[in-house]
Amino acid sequence: MIKKTICLILSLAGVLCSNFTLITALAAEKDDVGIGAPSAIMIDFSTKKSLYEKNPHEKRPCASLTKIMTMCLTFDAIDSGKLDYNTPVPTSPIAASQSGSDIWLVEGETLTVDDLLKAVALVSANDACVSLAEAVGGTKESFVSMMNEKAKALGMNDTTFKNCTGDDEDGHVTSAYDVSLMSGELMKHEKALEYTSVWLDYIRDGATQLVNTNSLVKNNSGITGLKTGTSTMSGACISACAERNGMTLIAVVLGDKTGEQRFSDAQRLLDYGFSSFASFLPVLPEDLPKTVDITGGMQQNVAVNCTPDGEFLIKSGSEGDVTSSFSVYDNIEAPVKKGQKLGSVIYKKGEEILGEYPLTAAEDIEKINVLGIFVKLCRLLIMEN
């Protein structure tokens, strides 16, 4: 009995050791990228697929990454016609009194929305940020309400904004995941990347020089933005986006100890993403029929359409593993309406479904009827004569 007990204990110990080794190996594989920040995420902009995660939903301060949302709402106001890039914005006493990063706005001074966006995007100017907030929302307080409403609409469930600048304030928190969501929202505005992708620019007719706080823009090809942030509570943070070989990635890093570590982590994530993944453009199967049979219609078949949209993200080198197939519904009966789904085209890699697209009718087909047959016979007779 004692021997059996000892053997059981040893056996359990072996299982535990085996499991521990497996867990350790998996953890090491996850941390192969070598990200030092406590929280990070990387996503593909087109597919929104997450390629790397490290505590992505941990609620943390994010300093001036907050201004990504400020810019989002400003572009929304431009799109709606409330503002345009040349709209003059006078500096209020509140905007002029802002501390921290600024462009030394003076009460009563007027700058355009274009210049203020440059100042926010490049040097993270708090005074310019408040000026935009007041132009869009009327007051800082109402603008912050708009920020939280927008965050909720984007699914940023980890986020609560207390100000528009990112100043340290109890309860002003977000997550790496949420930052990636609002970064993607800002990147929908191509004009935004025109601001965030430049290293050096000027306002006030060249009198004020703006140098991008994101040094990745200067030192690395393909970097198109997006925003840095640093504070006592948040540490060093960045949302970095880049485009290479038709792929656009967003890397978010929160809570690094230094600015250099922040840039190093972001660059490491982007390099990992571009080297490990590739975009795959779906092509229709060669044997996909141009028509499918139907019953009870004025025609025996109907022309079909299928339009795969977008691209898939797959592991680099696995392009040859992607397969495509199609299926058509059985016993399709008339009437058939244009756009009606008649089947599917499916793309898979192994057992993983990458995408499924509808096979639809390209035309209307009426149900067979006596009058229709008579008209068709008349047309045939006319053609023969």
SS (H, E, C) 178-199: HHHHHHHHHHCCHHHHHHHCCC
Q: Say what the pTM is.
A: 0.81
Catalytic residue selected from 39, 92, 101, 124: 124
Catalytic residue selected from 39, 54, 67, 197: 67
Q: What pLDDT is recorded for position 40?
A: 98
Tokens standing for residue 374: 């008579």
Of 2-6, 51-55, 74-78, 141-145, the least confident? 2-6
Annotation marks residue 316 as catalytic: no
Catalytic residue selected from 64, 92, 175, 324: 64
Over residues 172-184, mean pLDDT:
98
Q: What pLDDT is recorded for position 371?
A: 67
pLDDT digits (tens, 9 = 90+) for 143-161: 999 999 999 999 999 999 9
The Cα–Cα gap between 125 and 238 comes to 16
Beta bridge partners of 271: none
Over residues 245-264, mean pLDDT:
96
Q: Is the dihedral of CA 139, 145, 149, 150 positive or negative?
A: positive
Phi, psi of 331 (to 5 degrees): 50, 60
Q: Which residue has the tokens 């047959």?
A: 373
- Res. 368 pLDDT band, cuts 50 70 90: confident
Residue 29 has pLDDT above 80, yes or no: no
Angle at 146 between CA 195 and CA 239, to 5 degrees: 40
Q: What pLDDT is recorded for position 173?
A: 98
Which of 254, 123, 235 has the alpha carbon at shortest distance from 183? 254
Which of 123, 129, 121 has the alpha carbon at shortest distance from 70? 129
- Res. 30 pLDDT band, cuts 50 70 90: very low
- Identify whether the C-beta of residue 126 lies closer than 8 Å to the C-beta of residue 91: no
- Identify whether the C-beta of residue 289 lies closer than 8 Å to the C-beta of residue 303: no
Q: What pLDDT is recorded for position 279?
A: 85
Annotation marks residue 124 as catalytic: yes
The Cα–Cα gap between 201 and 120 comes to 12
pLDDT digits (tens, 9 = 90+) for 50-71: 999 999 999 999 999 999 999 9
Over residues 96-108, mean pLDDT:
95
Over residues 274-287, mean pLDDT:
91
Q: What pLDDT is recorded for position 313?
A: 86
Which of 222, 121, 232 has the alpha carbon at shortest distance from 169? 232
Domains annotated for the chain, with CATH where assigned, are: 34-276 (3.40.710.10), 291-384 (2.60.410.10)
Over residues 77-83, mean pLDDT:
97
Residue 372 has pLDDT above 70, yes or no: no
Q: What pLDDT is recorded for position 78?
A: 98
Over residues 257-262, mean pLDDT:
97
Residue 17 has pLDDT above 70, yes or no: no
Q: What pLDDT is recorded for position 221?
A: 74
